[in-house]
Every structure is written in C-alpha cells, then in structure tokens.
Amino acid sequence: MYKNLKTGQVIWIVLWILELTSCEFTVTIPKSLQVAELGQDVVMACSFTMNGDLDIKNIIITWQRGEEVVHSFYYGQDQLHTQSRSYTSRTSLYVSNIIKGNASLMLKSVSAVDRGDYTCSVSTSIGSQKKTFLLVIAAFYTEPVMQIKVLPQTVAFSFYSEGYPNSTIQWLSEDGLDMTNLTDSSYTEKDNGLLSVKSTLMTKRNLNTSFTFILQNCVLEQKIIRTFSLISDNAPSKDYDGSCKNNLLLLVPICFFVSVTALAYVLMRKHIDTSTSVPTLNQLLP
Ligand SMILES: *[C@@H]1O[C@H](CO)[C@@H](O)[C@H](O)[C@H]1NC(C)=O
Ligand SMILES: *[C@@H]1O[C@H](CO)[C@@H](O)[C@H](O)[C@H]1NC(C)=O
Ligand SMILES: *[C@@H]1O[C@H](CO)[C@@H](O)[C@H](O)[C@H]1NC(C)=O
Ligand SMILES: *[C@@H]1O[C@H](CO)[C@@H](O)[C@H](O)[C@H]1NC(C)=O
C-alpha cells in the first residue's frame, strides 16, 4: 500500500515536470565563452523548444548584433533585405534543422571587428525569447621563430610570433627568476588582422646560459614554452682579450721581420745602384 503510494507520487512528479518543461518556451545558447578563429567560419549555436507545431511559417528567427540585423528569417524563408551590409553573403541558418529547434547561425570569414554581443531571438506559436552572448575573436599564436645574436660582450635572445588577441610574455632564467623586466617587446598590428610580437632579452655573455620564455594567448588558453640554451667551452671575455694579446704578440715579430727585410732591401738596392753606376761612369770616361 505504502509502496504503491510512493510509486504513484513519483509518476505524478515526473508528469508534472514534463508538463512544466514542455509548456515553457526557451531559447538556449552555450554556457561557455563563444570564440571564433580569425579568418575562419564560426557557427553561433542557438536552439529553441519545439512543441507540436511543425509549420515553419510560424517561426521567426532574428540574429542581431546590438541594433544591427545580422540575419532574419520569417514566412518560412530568409529575409535578407533587412540585413546589415557588413553581413551580406556571410550568414546562413540551417534551414532544414529549424523545424527541429535549431536556430544556429553560420558566420563566414570572421574578422576582428566581428567581436561583439550577439542576440538570438526566436518566436513561435508557443512563445518567444531572446538570448545574448559575447563572441570573441582569437587566433592561435604561430610557432615562434627563435634567434640568438652573439656579440663580443652580450647575447640577444629573441623570438617572433603572431596571433590574436594580445599575448602575455614572460621570461625566466635557468634558476626560475623572472627576467621579464629586462626584456623588450614590441607589438604590431598586421594587415591580416593578427598581432605580431617580437620580444628580446639582452644579457651579458656568460658561459652556458639558458633562458625560457612563456607566450600565452589567454582567450584560447594557449601556452607556448620554449627554452634557449647557449653552450660555450671557454670564457668569452678571456677569449676576446686573449685573441687581442695574441695578435699583439704576433705583431712584434712580424714588424721586426718586415723592418729587417726593408732595411736589407734598401741597403741592397743602394749597393746595386752604385754597382750599376760604375760602368756608366766607366763608359763616360774615354
Ligand atoms: C544545428 O544544426 C547544425 C547543422 O546540422 C549543427 O552543426 C549544429 O550543431 C546544430 N545546432 C544546435 C544547437 O543543435
Ligand atoms: C599588448 O599588451 C602590451 C602589454 O601587455 C601593450 O604594451 C600593448 O600595447 C598591447 N597591444 C595591443 C595592440 O593591445
Ligand atoms: C619588475 O617586475 C615587477 C613585477 O614582476 C614589478 O613589480 C617591478 O616594478 C618591475 N621593476 C622594474 C624596475 O620595472
Ligand atoms: C658548458 O657546457 C658544456 C656541455 O654541457 C661543457 O662541455 C662545457 O665545459 C661547459 N662550460 C663551462 C665553462 O662550464
């Protein structure tokens, strides 16, 4: 008796929940941040409750960005005369899926200016609702091009990469000390909409140095970690001074040799001159 009552209650609750959800008209968008990759196509997901009425003519879908109409659908077809110019030929709905409650919009070749708040509004014979979300534009940073420039006293470690939006850069020494303060980073906006970054760490030329940089694109949760290692067998400063001294030491005998040779040549020349002048004198004499 008690068992039966309990089952009856459960059934009643389930029916009540079903009835409640089926009556309520909702528009659903993803809870996660919507990110579009720069230059790529994006599907902005949006779905709505369908209930019995399978007549597509009773469904009105409007996509807006602020006041701008991105895409409009009613009377069972796209209504593109109302569309804002910046979206011409760039949008489409999945028309055959609309009847299944799919109002997702495909937006083609996304650029940086497409970032913004988008609203998906749906109206059917059982109700209407709208939902707004932020569309963020991003691009993964490219594999960094790394460069080491070795000068007599200093070494410059640098890398170059491009992505979108802005990145954060951190440099660490071998011991894990933050060297970011000692670095120089420059950011440039490129024609393709990407941001390029070049970061350089300049240090004294030490033996066996190693530095690590961390490049992050927070929007895409991208993290690039690369390490520079410079290995050398002998001390650069000694090497540099030594070669100078060696050159000086070599120079002394060379100078000596050159001077002696020159002197010998001059002396010999003098001797030859006198010896050749003798016959001339003899010739002059009768
Ligand atoms: C809508 O339909 C498209 C195409 O089949 C699909 O890619 C997308 O995931 C659907 N969206 C939703 C919210 O169901
Ligand atoms: C990127 O961030 C850096 C520092 O974090 C800043 O100096 C630079 O102006 C930013 N660039 C752009 C294009 O936002
Ligand atoms: C170095 O960086 C730290 C944060 O890591 C900052 O608080 C400090 O002001 C910086 N020092 C200089 C000289 O830029
Ligand atoms: C630097 O490292 C290399 C290889 O790891 C080693 O052969 C060399 O002796 C090191 N130089 C110094 C000065 O420690």
* Residue boundaries of the structural domains of the chain: 25-138, 145-238
Per-residue pLDDT at 284 exceeds 90 = no
pLDDT interval class at 4 (50, 70, 90): low
Does pLDDT of 23 surpass 70? no
The bound ligand whose nearest atom lies closest to the alpha carbon of 99 is 1
Give the SS3 label for residue 26. coil
What are the residue ranges of helices labelled H in 84-127? 95-98
**C-alpha 101 – ligand 1 centre gap (Å):** 9
**Three-state DSSP state, 99:** coil
User: Rounded to two decimals, what is the model's pTM?
Assistant: 0.65
Higher pLDDT, 178 or 1: 178
Using CA atoms, how far apart are residues 70 and 121, in angstroms rounded to an integer? Answer: 11
Confidence class of residue 280 from pLDDT cuts 50, 70 and 90? very low
C-alpha–C-alpha distance, residues 243 and 256, integer Å: 20
Q: Report how far apart, in Å, the C-alpha atoms of 124 and of each of 25, 70, 73, 149, 197 are.
A: 9, 20, 12, 66, 49
Which residues touch 113 (CB under 8 Å, ≥6 apart)?
Answer: 86
Residue whose CA lies nearest to ligand 4 atom number 6: 233
Q: What is the pLDDT of residue 11?
A: 53
Give the pairing type, strands 77-78 and 68-74.
antiparallel
pLDDT of residue 216: 97
Question: 181 alpha carbon to ligand 4 midpoint, in Å?
Answer: 28
Q: Give me the pLDDT at residue 235, please.
A: 58
Instruction: Indicate if the pLDDT at residue 203 is higher than 60.
Output: yes
Mean pLDDT of the chain: 81
- In this structure, the residue with its CA closest to atom 7 of ligand 4 is 233
Q: What is the DSSP letter of 92?
A: E
Does the domain made of 25-138 have the CATH classification 2.60.40.10? yes
Nearest Cα residue to atom 12 of ligand 4: 233
Over residues 64-85, the mean pLDDT reads 95
Do domains 25-138 and 145-238 share one topology? The answer is yes
Question: Which of helix, strand or coil describes residue 212?
Answer: strand
What lines the ligand 2 site, CB under 6 Å?
166, 187, 195
Ligand 1 lined by 216 (C-beta under 6 Å)? no
Q: What percent of the chain has pLDDT over 90?
A: 63
> Which tens digits make up the pLDDT trace of 159-194?
999 999 999 999 999 999 999 999 999 999 988 889
Out of 91-105, 136-150, 194-208, which region has the weakest mean confidence (pLDDT)? 194-208
Any idea which of 9-13, 29-33, 114-118, 130-134 has the lowest mean pLDDT?
9-13
83 lines ligand 1 (CB under 6 A): no
Asked if residue 131 lies in contact with residue 29, where contact means CB atoms within 8 angstroms, the answer is: yes
User: 3-state SS of 131-144?
Assistant: EEEEEEEEECCCCC
Q: How far is the CA of 27 from the centre of ligand 1 (A)?
A: 14
Q: What is the mean pLDDT of the segment spanning 83-88? A: 95
C-alpha to C-alpha distance for 68 and 34, rounded to whole angstroms: 19
- CATH number for the region 145-238 comes to 2.60.40.10
Task: Give CA separation, 9 vs 1, 3, 111, in Å.
Answer: 12, 10, 55
Q: How many CA atoms lie within 13 A of 79 on its CB side?
A: 13
Side chain identity, residue 213: F
Show the CA angle centred on residue 276, arms to residues 270 and 279, nearest 5°.
145
Q: Rounded to an integer, what is the distance from CA 21 to the centroid of its chain? A: 44
For residue 258 and ligand 4, the question of a CB distance below 6 A is answered with no
pLDDT tens digits, 206-259: 878 899 999 999 999 999 999 999 987 765 554 444 343 444 444 444 444 445
Distance between first and last Cα of the chain? 166
Q: What lines the ligand 3 site, CB under 6 Å? A: 178, 181
Whole-number Å distance, alpha carbon 197 to ligand 4 midpoint, is 32
Contact between 183 and 148 (Cβ < 8 Å) = no
